[in-house]
Structure 1
């Protein structure tokens, strides 16, 4: 059965809150056989800041474009606010998109760029001006109202593009890596500003990025994508602290990952040596611990009689401002990556060549699928 036929049999719109999105079995195939999006099921709550995270080519932008109506699914259903979107063109969906390039009209000034969609809808000039002035005040760009788009900085253009999306009061705002062209300081500032504004407005935001830090800072929930599939969906803390598999663990943050073979219900043999784990073990698998969960001690001050205590030598110390990243070679030749904060830098810092001990607390070691 074709996607169109499936939609025709789907029945009336399903009751849902404004801005809720339901994606069911969505598939998009390119070049005859390449599944850019491969049977994705996803529920996004009304008023949620949801991030699609993954490497280039994983399908996140294609999925976003199908929600927007710029791409047509080969299979599956998309519902926005409980309404089927199969036969609804992009311009009639209660969705606005902020593109990576901002896509502003260079011949129009700021207020005309923002009000363009309202003018196309036939809104009266007085009402349009009131709405545009309000959104410019919210985004603090009123002083640029008569300035042309070509005269704006990157951060100002980003605000104008966002204002143009919000002024139409859509159910859903889609953001396709809109901060990627900005410098690091401005990008960090706008991440927080964008999150605060979304919470004030209560709109549903779907944000696409390959930047793990951006996803962690801004999201209520994250969907991690790889090769057209959703690998894991959940609240930020859950996905980071309890990654489902090796891909998620490695893509979302730094990690130490080893194959393990059980030697008991809560113990296993790993390349670094015998380790204790809180989770019960039933067979060979993979174990993961985040670098910031590893405790570092001067070798002479290491605690006694604790599990998962290993001795080694600092081989690399990379100062990162708020923290220092260490590569520590253990006695058996394996290395671990550890991160320590610099709040007590004078007392807790180690140089390459110094002997240290590291502790991997059992409750911080997670089991992950290959």
Structure 2
């Protein structure tokens, strides 16, 4: 009596995405087995608990060996030890560098240092994300920051080229790096209503318009640092609020343009000078490091909160900012139109993103 046994031998590294996600989420192999059992996998496959445990441990060993390559995705793509199809390589990289929004909101704008990392226990408890996952995400942010901080060229392009991330994930990491470099305050209680997506959008506007790279694509760290000469020049905009004739003319042009178009016209007319002073003073104070860090708080306190107080709609805010910007450029005695447009185009975009009805 003879027994026949079919055997297939291959060298392709098998990746179970569900187990990979459990590993990324910081679960131990033992916990992962329990979660897989609860999902009904034993009934679906007819496997025993011992087989499931062995399978899970095998996957975990593979992921641990792959992790050193995932730290530098170009190495994963070019290595020959693990035979992984390109589509699976993409999946491994994207999932490894993905992050939880609850986590990134806790560390956004903070220095990516050992001190911040020591606080991850509290972040883990607050967000209900495992400490191991918090550390992986934090280390990813720090690693990307370290690789690109001294590079010339586009921040987005540098991140994409070295970490092979998707377009959206690349732009998100660019925002994280930019915020960590400039240390914008995002953690204050009154800013908690803003999502990471809100801040990422604002970061993209700032990078495209206010950094050194916005005017010179050959400078060092062009997308990392704000253009200090531009910030210094913004003081010239104070003439819009210190020159009474200009202030009155500006108000008159805006009121003429908006009369009959917005329901909150009386409130806008009465508060025009206060709102204008707020926006111009934000510009004039951006030479100070603290005021740069408080940029989003200032936008909230000096413009958004007053508008909310008088029940301005999103449409009202959009119309006001549009005509407020354009009208200043029409003032004969105002000679800083290019500077004004560079400033207000970005401020307008950020304010509209931050104005949640």
Q: Which structure has the greater CA radius of gyration?
A: 2
Structure with the higher strand share, 1 or 2: 1
Give the structure-2-normalised TM-score.
0.29
Give the structure-1-normalised TM-score.
0.28
